[in-house]
Chain A
């Protein structure tokens, strides 16, 4: 479903973000991407969204090379990938309902379909009663749930979460991870970039570790840290 083939990314200032990355994520998989800040996790996600282009190699999504996608077709690529950020990135002047509905309006969904599906998405993340509230009136965990509802409302086959629990306390973080697990269980491919050890360790899913732009570990049912790794490296 998602494949990185010998991908190298060098930014115009000469920074090598990724070097020779080979990675395959199958349909319905759950993968943690772990690594230090600046290790290349975010660059990996940016290549998936075609926010950046590869310098060498290829990124393939559903059999299609991302580098060959025309600039005008990029929005349609992004519609097939739900994305959640650490800082939630909700529209502050729209209510919870409007934030989620907005993602459907963007894909030009019919108003009737929007009215039918948004309440369901909010129920799924447990925010039915807060549909008319504004993001500023919600807790961090609730805001992240709205972001998940928005990311999933168009039923993308892939969900990317970039440090989804970065701004949340441990209890709320676990709630969010249960939500992610539930999303994965329903068949969505989930790729989570994180440096939260407790989350990765508690879920024991596939872990891909990136260090200085290269994949140094790809482990099924892995922990945050390789047993031989130096724990101090990550904090």
Chain B
């Protein structure tokens, strides 16, 4: 395609866009709404995914040994655990370390521990697995060991998040497709209306020998502009909304979920959102235009 043809197509596309400002800004608003809905679903899925990943990084299982085990028995138990497949990390917490941790945790009220020495606390192991989904199996096996007093792990939270994550991944594409189809429908109709309104102009172009490409592409550019403007507004709305949530709800969530669930920082999601919005906005705008012009522009 020649440069002058490209310039013609872009000039006409932009002129078309600004010619019907009211109609196009109304369309942009609807596209923005559709993309914001899409963005909310994306953010939910993204956050669940990131948090499940983050859970995998946290100490997931704490295995407390019986108080009466001597060092040799604890060593033997440790060797037994280290032979477990799928072990990502293994840390031994001695009685002394457990005592220091307890003091740190109690903070100002650490005098509660006065008169109690490290010997009153059990040795424990903090264990991370490669696959958080294997936790239940691991815990049931470890629970049968006579040397184990207690096993602590965030069973309900992990189970819930894993289930929600799987569900979200499974149905995510379907859920995301709904607002996308909605956006395609809106853009198609907007372009169709303008094509219909300008059918006289199009017929003139056909009579004076314009190729389909020269007639259609300005509409495609017009659709893409609607997509870009809609995507930009959607990005601003979602970005600021998410920032507000992040600032206010992360504190609240920290108290409720014991820091197991946090909203991913806006900085991490903004690039994803912007790219997805622009790609979908421009893509949907262009596809919508091609669809709506197909019928009217046959030379």
Q: A residues engaging B (CB < 8 A)?
A: 49, 71-72, 74-79, 83, 89-91, 93, 102-103, 105-108, 110-111, 150-151, 154
Contacts and interface: CB of A to CB of B under 8 A. Distances in A.
Nearest to B205: A106
B4 A89 contact: no
29 contacts: A72-B212, A72-B299, A74-B299, A75-B209, A75-B210, A75-B211, A77-B209, A78-B206, A78-B207, A78-B209, A79-B209, A83-B208, A89-B203, A89-B204, A89-B207, A91-B201, A91-B204, A93-B19, A103-B208, A105-B4, A105-B8, A106-B205, A106-B214, A107-B209, A108-B4, A108-B8, A110-B4, A111-B4, A150-B208
A71 B299 contact: yes
Interface string B6-45: 0010000001000100000000000000000000000000
Nearest to B16: A93
A78 B208 contact: yes
A71 B213 CA distance: 13
B206 A108 contact: no
Contacts of A105: 4, 8
A230 to B, nearest CB: 35
Contact of B2 (A77, A108, A151): A108
Contacts, number: 51
Contacts of B8: 105, 108
Contacts of A74: 299
Given A72-B211, A72-B212, A106-B208, 13 more contacts: A72-B299, A75-B206, A75-B210, A75-B299, A78-B208, A89-B204, A91-B201, A102-B208, A105-B8, A108-B8, A150-B208, A151-B208, A154-B209
Main secondary structure of the interface of B (DSSP, over half): helix
Name the 5 nearest CB pairs between A and B, nearest first. A79-B209, A78-B209, A106-B210, A75-B209, A75-B211
A103 to B, nearest CB: 5
Contact of B207 (A49, A72, A110): A49
B242 to A, nearest CB: 41
Contacts of B208: 78-79, 83, 102-103, 106, 150-151
B202 to A, nearest CB: 11
B5 interface: yes
Interface of B: 2, 4-5, 8, 15, 19, 200-201, 203-212, 214, 299
Contacts of A75: 206, 209-212, 299
Nearest to A91: B201
Given A91-B201, A91-B204, A76 B209 contact: yes
A91 B4 CA distance: 21
Contacts of A108: 2, 4-5, 8
Nearest to A110: B4
Nearest to A84: B207
A157 to B, nearest CB: 13
Nearest to A102: B208
A181 B21 CA distance: 44
Contacts of B214: 106
A105 B10 CA distance: 13
B101 to A, nearest CB: 76
A83 B207 contact: yes
Contacts of A90: 204
A89 B8 CA distance: 21
Contacts of A71: 299
Nearest to B5: A108
Contacts of B206: 75, 78
Contacts of A78: 206-209
